């Protein structure tokens, strides 16, 4: 990689702009960028996060074209598309080839920097069976995230007098983020459900017009595959809410054993339409520890140590939470969304 | 809990590194043995294997012991023992069990006067279901050792994922004969987190937070354990028990 640093960016800028599309590419035509900083032929790439490199060291044998993807740390080679036949091609063909590769790659692996994570416990008026008071749930969440440097707990949702739709919660936090982003020019922003900040750190020191200002942080709803699939349950979600959450904001969905979220996305028109905003996080190692299981173990006097942080286990013991009685709470109540949406029908 | 048989659970293994899953084994086993109504679990021992075991990716026992101690600092009944890892060569599981049984018995004889046979705690081997399957690997276990581990001491086996330990018992005459000495603990929560997965995540710079105690994660970072290189250790080395058996034949 050392040879790359010696190349001056300004040369390539001129090359790329002045070369006609039908000109043959030769070893002397160096369409190269430096890996960490540099110029991206803006008119070739839409997302400004990829470069392509022609490795002149190879020009005596085979020229090699590599795509380099810029990330927060060292760039990684995304694809190599090179062979001797490249020498005979024109810029136009090459652009098309690279662009296809990059488009595929970029849709697969966009670069984000997660700046914050927020746990927002639901309010008591949700009326789920076995749901204990929000004050306890908030405190346990706070204890659990005490030594996390990026995850925090937010009580806005649980403090509302009535149950709040998820879309409203997402909207609330998104508005909070953008107002904070506008008010200060520091690049770290507080608050937000799950945020993604588009990495746009191409530093260009020569004359080029790449925009290096950081975009406002995005907000994504983080959930398990079961929540995504719950979008299909009648009267549980308002269709316009689903549209807003996936269309306007975005979802990061962690797969769980037994569900096939991709199939579900495919079967739902609204999810399919916004599939680019749904980020699947594949959990390769199955881990099915659930709150339901934990509550069951607690009811039966079994140990839940090492399933939850010790501080939360202690809190539960101190306050005698999760008994047979607590599990019967809301047993005959109707879940808040069902109540709200069926009565309005 | 009066009238119950006191019991100590011994877990042997690489503990490379120790994870919450390992510690869960103890919790699940204790609950299960108590619920039989017959036993009273009085202690748990984590005994990391010695470096001569020759398993691929095994980091030095000094680190594995330190991590296990950090993880079990807050436990009031499980502790770490370094006898096995301090031996010059790899020791068979049965040898480790004999050592701990004699040690515990000696403690009781020294402390009680007069000691009764029923006061001396029993010792059982605590393991996962994958362990049961190792009995049928040729050359890994001596038959008389399996006989002693299962017949004399006993096993407490916690199921894991889709592995069916009762099938392993069914397929082995030896194990079937000692069925009453094998306690199967069903782990209803499907959980495949293993030390292997943890090492994989660490190699790839991924987060392992909440899979191991924070103190162990800090230790791993501090000493830069579990890299591509560490995983290559012992790559072409044969497992010690397999070389030992061939020498004796």
Q: What is the pLDDT of residue B240?
A: 87
Higher pLDDT among residues A85 and B4, named by residue: B4
**pLDDT over 90, % of chain A:** 30
Higher pLDDT among residues A335 and B2, named by residue: A335
DSSP A1: -
Q: What is the pLDDT of residue B246?
A: 58
Q: What is the pLDDT of residue A208?
A: 25
**How far is it, in rounded angstroms, from Cα A243 to Cα A233?**
15
Higher pLDDT among residues B153 and A63, named by residue: B153
Q: Which residue in A147, A302, A306 is closest to B20 by CB distance?
A: A306
**How far is it, in rounded angstroms, from Cα A69 to Cα B208?**
26
Say if the Cβ atoms of B23 and A286 lie within 8 Å.
Answer: no
Q: What is the pLDDT of residue B235?
A: 85
Q: What is the DSSP string of A8-29?
A: -HHHHHHHHHHS-TTSBP-TTS
Q: Compute the average pLDDT of residues B205-217.
A: 90
> Which residues in chain A have Cβ-Cβ distances shorter than 8 Å to B70?
none
Most confident among A17-26, A87-96, A320-329, B117-126 (mean pLDDT): A320-329
Domain that holds residue A126: 86-181+215-343
**How far is it, in rounded angstroms, from Cα B123 to Cα B42?**
10
Phi-psi region of A322 (alpha: psi -120 to 50; beta: other; left: phi over 0): left
**How far is it, in rounded angstroms, from Cα B22 to Cα B14?**
11
Asked if A212 contacts A204 with a C-beta cutoff of 8 angstroms, the reply is: yes
> Which residues in chain A have Cβ-Cβ distances shorter than 8 Å to B23?
305-306
Say if the Cβ atoms of A287 and B161 lie within 8 Å.
Answer: no
DSSP H/E element including B10: strand B5-13
Q: What is the pLDDT of residue A109?
A: 52
Q: Which residue in B20, B31, B192 is closest to A303 by CB distance?
A: B31
Identify the residue among B32, B77, B189 best suited for mutation to test binding to A, counting A beta carbons within 10 A and taking the highest: B189
> Which residues in chain A have Cβ-Cβ distances shorter than 8 Å to B30?
303
Residue A225 is encoded by which pair of tokens? 């595959």
Nearest to A32 by CA among A61, A63, A62: A63
Model confidence at A94, in pLDDT bands (50, 70, 90)? low
Is residue A187 domain-resident? Answer: no
Q: Closest-CA residue in chain B for A310?
A: B74
Other Cβ atoms within 10 Å of B19 Cβ, number = 22
Asked if A256 contacts A284 with a C-beta cutoff of 8 angstroms, the reply is: no
Mean pLDDT value across chain A:
67
Q: What is the pLDDT of residue A162?
A: 94
Choose the weakest-confidence range: A4-18, A211-225, A322-336: A4-18
Say if the Cβ atoms of A290 and B214 lie within 8 Å.
Answer: no
Higher pLDDT among residues B114 and B38, named by residue: B38
What does each C-alpha distance from B6 to A59, A305, B2, B41, B118 come to in angstroms?
76, 22, 10, 6, 8
A289 near B CB under 8 A: yes
Among the residues of chain A, which ranges form H helices?
A: 2-6, 9-18, 91-108, 134-144, 156-159, 166-183, 225-230, 239-243, 261-267, 269-273, 291-299, 310-319, 324-327, 336-344
Give the 3-state secondary structure of residue B141.
coil
User: Phi and psi at residue B216, in whole multiples of 5°?
Assistant: -70, -40
B161 near A CB under 8 A: yes
**Minimal CA separation from B162 to chain A, in Å:** 11
Q: What is the pLDDT of residue B119?
A: 77
B163 near A CB under 8 A: no
Q: Compute the average pLDDT of residues B177-182.
A: 94
Give B59-73 pLDDT, tens digit per residue: 999 999 999 999 999
Cα-Cα-Cα-Cα dihedral of B148, B153, B157, B163, to 10°?
10
Q: What is the pLDDT of residue B58?
A: 94
Q: Which residue in A288, A293, A306 is closest to B24 by CB distance?
A: A306
**Minimal CA separation from A289 to chain B, in Å:** 6
Model confidence at A15, in pLDDT bands (50, 70, 90)? very low
Is residue A10 domain-resident? Answer: no
Q: Which residue in A257, A288, A306 is closest to B27 by CB distance?
A: A306
Say if the Cβ atoms of B27 and A285 lie within 8 Å.
Answer: no
Choose the weakest-confidence range: B24-38, B77-91, B181-195: B181-195
B114 preceded by a cis bond (ω within 30 of 0): yes
**Minimal CA separation from A73 to chain B, in Å:** 12
**Minimal CA separation from B189 to chain A, in Å:** 6
Alpha carbon A173 to chain centroid distance? 16
What does each C-alpha distance from B13 to A197, A292, B66, B210 come to in angstroms?
43, 31, 15, 21
Model confidence at A256, in pLDDT bands (50, 70, 90)? low
**pLDDT over 70, % of chain B:** 94
A74 near B CB under 8 A: no
Residue A9 is encoded by which pair of tokens? 């960016």
What does each C-alpha distance from A57 to A52, A206, A224 come to in angstroms?
15, 25, 48
Q: What is the pLDDT of residue A240?
A: 93
* This prediction's pTM: 0.71
**How far is it, in rounded angstroms, from Cα A44 to Cα A202?**
15
Higher pLDDT among residues B137 and B154, named by residue: B154
What does each C-alpha distance from A284 to A110, A281, B128 come to in angstroms?
20, 9, 20
**Count of domains observed in chain A:** 1
Is residue A268 domain-resident? Answer: yes
CATH number at residue A152: 3.40.50.620
**How far is it, in rounded angstroms, from Cα A336 to Cα A163?**
7
**How far is it, in rounded angstroms, from Cα A304 to Cα A290?**
11
Q: Which residue in B27, B74, B197 is closest to A285 by CB distance?
A: B197
Give the 3-state secondary structure of residue B68.
helix
**pLDDT of A190 higher than 80:** no
Count the helix, strand and coil residues of chain B and give each as a percent rounded to the nearest 5.
Answer: 50, 15, 35
Asked if A251 contacts A170 with a C-beta cutoff of 8 angstroms, the reply is: no
Residue A52 is encoded by which pair of tokens? 């392509």
**Minimal CA separation from B48 to chain A, in Å:** 20
| Structural domain spans, chain B | 5-247
Q: What is the pLDDT of residue B113?
A: 64
Using only C-alpha atoms, chain B has a radius of gyration, in whole angstroms, of: 18
Q: What is the pLDDT of residue B13?
A: 94
Q: Which residue in A285, A293, A302 is closest to B192 by CB distance?
A: A285
**Minimal CA separation from B72 to chain A, in Å:** 11
Q: What is the pLDDT of residue A92?
A: 55
Interface size, chain A vs chain B, as Cβ–Cβ contacts under 8 Å: 40
Give A263-284 pLDDT, tens digit per residue: 888 888 889 889 888 988 877 7
Among the residues of chain B, which ranges form H helices?
A: 20-35, 61-71, 83-86, 93-111, 129-134, 143-146, 165-170, 173-177, 195-203, 214-223, 228-232, 240-248
**pLDDT of A86 higher than 60:** no
**How far is it, in rounded angstroms, from Cα A297 to Cα B24?**
13
Asked if B48 contacts B65 with a C-beta cutoff of 8 angstroms, the reply is: yes
Say if the Cβ atoms of A285 and B24 lie within 8 Å.
Answer: no
Give A136-166 pLDDT, tens digit per residue: 999 999 999 998 888 999 999 999 999 999 9
> Which residues in chain A have Cβ-Cβ distances shorter than 8 Å to B31?
302-303
Q: What is the DSSP string of A160-175?
A: SSS---HHHHHHHHHH
> In the 3-class helix/strand/coil scheme, how is A267-318 assigned residue by residue?
HCHHHHHCHHHEEEECCCCCECCCHHHHHHHHHCCCCCECCECHHHHHHHHH
Model confidence at A342, in pLDDT bands (50, 70, 90)? confident
> Which residues in chain A have Cβ-Cβ distances shorter than 8 Å to B28?
303
Mean pLDDT value across chain B:
89
> Which residues in chain B have Cβ-Cβ distances shorter than 8 Å to A257?
190
Say if the Cβ atoms of A148 and B209 lie within 8 Å.
Answer: yes
Q: Compute the average pLDDT of residues B19-45.
A: 95
**pLDDT of A211 higher than 60:** no
Nearest to B231 by CA among B16, B8, B15: B16
Q: What is the pLDDT of residue B110?
A: 77
Q: What is the pLDDT of residue A192?
A: 28
Higher pLDDT among residues A66 and B129, named by residue: B129
Nearest to B80 by CA among B30, B11, B143, B134: B11
Residue A45 is encoded by which pair of tokens? 């790439």
**How far is it, in rounded angstroms, from Cα A141 to Cα A152?**
8
A234 near B CB under 8 A: no
Q: What is the pLDDT of residue B220?
A: 94
Say if the Cβ atoms of B27 and A289 lie within 8 Å.
Answer: no
Is residue A327 domain-resident? Answer: yes
Say if the Cβ atoms of A288 and B20 lie within 8 Å.
Answer: no
Residues paired with B158 in a beta bridge = B128, B185
Asked if A252 contacts A279 with a C-beta cutoff of 8 angstroms, the reply is: yes
Q: Compute the average pLDDT of residues B65-94.
A: 96
Q: What is the pLDDT of residue B6?
A: 95
For domain B5-247, say whether CATH 3.40.50.620 is its number.
Answer: yes
**pLDDT of A314 higher than 80:** yes
Q: Which residue in B28, B189, B193 is closest to A293 by CB distance?
A: B189
Q: What is the pLDDT of residue B238?
A: 86
Most confident among A17-31, A73-87, A129-143, B188-202 (mean pLDDT): A129-143
**pLDDT of B187 higher than 80:** yes
Residues paired with A151 in a beta bridge = A117
Q: What is the pLDDT of residue A207?
A: 25
B187 near A CB under 8 A: no
Say if the Cβ atoms of A289 and B191 lie within 8 Å.
Answer: yes
Other Cβ atoms within 10 Å of A89 Cβ, number = 14
């Amino acid at each position: 990689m050392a040879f790359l640093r010696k190349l001056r960016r300004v040369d390539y800028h001129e090359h790329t702009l002045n070369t006609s599309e039908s000109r043959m590419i030769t070893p002397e035509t160096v369409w190269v960028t430096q890996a960490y900083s540099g110029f991206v032929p803006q008119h070739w790439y839409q997302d400004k996060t990829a470069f392509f490199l022609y490795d002149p060291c190879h020009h005596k044998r085979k020229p090699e074209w590599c795509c380099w993807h810029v990330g927060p740390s060292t760039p990684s080679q995304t694809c190599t598309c090179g062979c001797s036949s490249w020498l005979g091609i024109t810029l136009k063909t090459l652009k098309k080839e690279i662009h296809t590769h990059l488009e595929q790659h970029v849709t697969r692996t966009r670069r984000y920097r997660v700046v914050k994570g927020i746990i927002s416990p639901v309010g008591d008026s949700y009326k789920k069976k076995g749901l204990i008071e929000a004050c306890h749930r908030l405190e346990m969440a706070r204890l659990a995230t005490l030594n996390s440097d990026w995850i925090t707990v937010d009580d806005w949702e649980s403090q509302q007098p009535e149950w709040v739709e998820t879309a409203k919660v997402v909207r609330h936090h998104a508005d909070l983020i953008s107002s904070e982003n506008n008010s200060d020019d520091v690049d770290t922003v507080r608050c937000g459900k799950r945020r993604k900040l588009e990495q746009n750190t191409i530093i260009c020191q020569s004359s080029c017009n790449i925009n290096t200002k950081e975009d406002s942080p995005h907000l994504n709803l983080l959930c398990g595959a079961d929540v995504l699939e719950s979008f299909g349950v009648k009267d549980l979600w308002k269709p316009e809410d689903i549209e807003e959450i996936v269309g306007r904001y975005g979802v990061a969905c962690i797969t769980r054993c037994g569900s096939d979220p991709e199939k579900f996305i495919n079967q739902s028109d609204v999810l399919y339409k916004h599939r680019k905003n749904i980020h699947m996080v594949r959990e390769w190692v199955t881990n099915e520890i659930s709150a339901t299981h934990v509550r069951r173990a607690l009811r039966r006097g079994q140990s839940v140590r090492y399933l939850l942080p010790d501080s939360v286990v202690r809190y539960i013991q101190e306050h005698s939470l999760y008994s047979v009685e607590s599990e019967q709470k809301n047993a005959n109540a109707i879940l808040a969304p069902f109540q709200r949406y069926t009565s309005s029908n | 809990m009066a009238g119950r048989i006191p019991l100590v659970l011994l877990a042997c293994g690489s503990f490379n590194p120790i994870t919450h899953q390992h510690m869960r084994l103890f919790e699940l086993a204790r609950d299960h043995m108590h619920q039989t109504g017959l036993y009273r679990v009085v202690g748990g021992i984590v005994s990391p294997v010695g470096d001569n075991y020759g398993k691929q990716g095994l980091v030095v026992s000094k680190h594995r012991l330190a991590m296990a101690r950090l993880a079990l600092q807050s436990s009031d009944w499980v502790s770490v023992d370094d006898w096995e890892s301090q031996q010059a060569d790899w020791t068979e599981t049965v040898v480790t069990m004999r050592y701990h049984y004699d040690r515990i018995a000696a403690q009781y004889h020294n402390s009680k006067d007069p000691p009764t046979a029923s006061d001396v705690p029993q010792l059982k081997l605590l393991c996962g279901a994958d362990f049961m399957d190792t009995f049928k690997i040729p050359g890994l276990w001596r038959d008389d050792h399996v006989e002693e581990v299962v017949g004399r001491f006993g096993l407490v086996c916690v199921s894991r994922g889709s592995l069916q330990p009762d099938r392993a018992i069914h397929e082995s005459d030896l194990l079937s004969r000692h069925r009453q000495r094998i306690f199967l603990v069903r782990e209803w929560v499907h959980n495949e987190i293993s030390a292997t997965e943890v090492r994989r995540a660490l190699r790839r710079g991924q987060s392992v937070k909440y899979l191991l105690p924070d103190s162990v994660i800090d230790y791993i970072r501090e000493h830069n354990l579990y890299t591509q290189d560490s995983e290559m250790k012992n790559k072409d080395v044969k497992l010690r028990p397999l070389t030992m058996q061939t020498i004796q034949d």
